[in-house]
Amino acid sequence: MDDSGEVFSQNITHNLGKMAEEAGIYGIVWHPEDNGITSAAQLVEPLTCAIAEMKADPARFKKHNSPNGWGLYENFVPWLEKLLSACREHPGSAVVASR
């Protein structure tokens, strides 16, 4: 935890929006407050399901890779796994998305 009380922070490109939509997690990742997400615990199940779905059918998601290379499946899945790990470690933490 830093001085602000933040326990986890990471950035990701919005170029992954279509891939996140395909995985059914766009709203909870980019706009959690608009989707009723207030705590990290609420992200565990949807992230777990999305990651499993993405790993089971990579081609379905890789078709949404950004042509400019900023927004790739190979980067998004590990990013989601880190987010999931943080949610599991700090389930009572507030979720805030900065855009």
State how far the alpha carbon of 76 is from the alpha carbons of 3, 4, 72, 92, 93, in Å. 28, 26, 6, 24, 22
Q: Tell me whether residue 8 is in a domain.
A: no
- What is the structure's pLDDT at 54? 98
- What is the structure's pLDDT at 5? 72
Q: Tell me whether residue 60 is in a domain.
A: yes
Q: Tell me whether residue 98 is in a domain.
A: no
Q: Tell me whether residue 4 is in a domain.
A: no
- What is the structure's pLDDT at 4? 57
Domain that holds residue 54: 14-89
Q: Tell me whether residue 78 is in a domain.
A: yes
Distance CA 29, CA 61 (A): 16
pTM of this structure: 0.92
Q: Tell me whether residue 22 is in a domain.
A: yes
Q: Which residues of the chain have pLDDT under 70?
A: 1-4
